[in-house]
Amino acid sequence: MRHLMNPLDFSVEELDRLFDLANEIEKNPAKYAHVCDGKILATCFYEPSTRTRLSFESAMTRLGGRVIGFADANSSSAAKGESVSDTIRVISCYADICAMRHPKEGAPMVASEKSRIPVINAGDGGHYHPTQTLTDLLTIRSLKGHLDGFTIGLCGDLKFGRTVHSLINALVRYPGTRFIFISPEELKVPDYITEMLREKNVPYEEVIRLENVMPQLDMLYMTRVQKERFFNEEDYVRLKDFYVLDTAKMELAREDMLVLHPLPRVNEISVEVDDDPRAAYFRQAQYGVYVRMALIMTLLGLAS
Residue from 171, 259, 185, 183 nearest 221 by CA: 259
Q: Minimum CB separation from ligand CP for residue 211, in Å?
A: 26
Between 62 and 101, CB nearer to ligand CP: 101
Between 32 and 281, CB nearer to ligand CP: 281
Strand order in the sheet with 66-70: 66-70, 40-45, 97-102, 119-124
Between 141 and 261, CB nearer to ligand CP: 261
3-state secondary structure (DSSP) of residue 2: coil
Catalytic residue positions?
Answer: 51-52, 80, 101, 129
Which residues have a Cβ under 8 Å from the Cβ of 288 and sit 6 or more positions away?
Answer: 51, 52, 55, 131, 132, 135
Strand partners, 219: 152, 258
The 3-state secondary structure of 124-191 reads ECCCECHHHHHHHHHHHHHHHCCCCCCEEEEECCCCCCHHHHHHHHHHCCCCCCEEEEECCHHHCCCH
Q: Minimum CB separation from ligand CP for residue 66, in Å?
A: 21
Q: Minimum CB separation from ligand CP for residue 166, in Å?
A: 11
Which residues have a Cβ under 8 Å from the Cβ of 24 and sit 6 or more positions away?
Answer: 31
Between 43 and 214, CB nearer to ligand CP: 43
Helix axes 281-299, 51-62, angle to 10 degrees: 50
Q: Minimum CB separation from ligand CP for residue 106, in Å?
A: 18
Between 132 and 183, CB nearer to ligand CP: 132
3-state secondary structure (DSSP) of residue 52: helix
Per DSSP, the residues of 78-106 read: GGGT--HHHHHHHHHHH-SEEEEEESSTT
Q: Distance between CA 64 and CA 281 in Å, rounded? A: 27
Between 99 and 193, CB nearer to ligand CP: 99
Q: Minimum CB separation from ligand CP for residue 287, in Å?
A: 12
Q: Which residues bind ligand CP (CB under 6 A)?
A: 49-52, 123, 129, 132, 262-264
Q: CB-hemisphere CA count at 13 Å for 76? A: 24
Q: Distance between CA 53 and CA 34 in Å, rounded? A: 21
Q: Minimum CB separation from ligand CP for residue 225, in Å?
A: 14
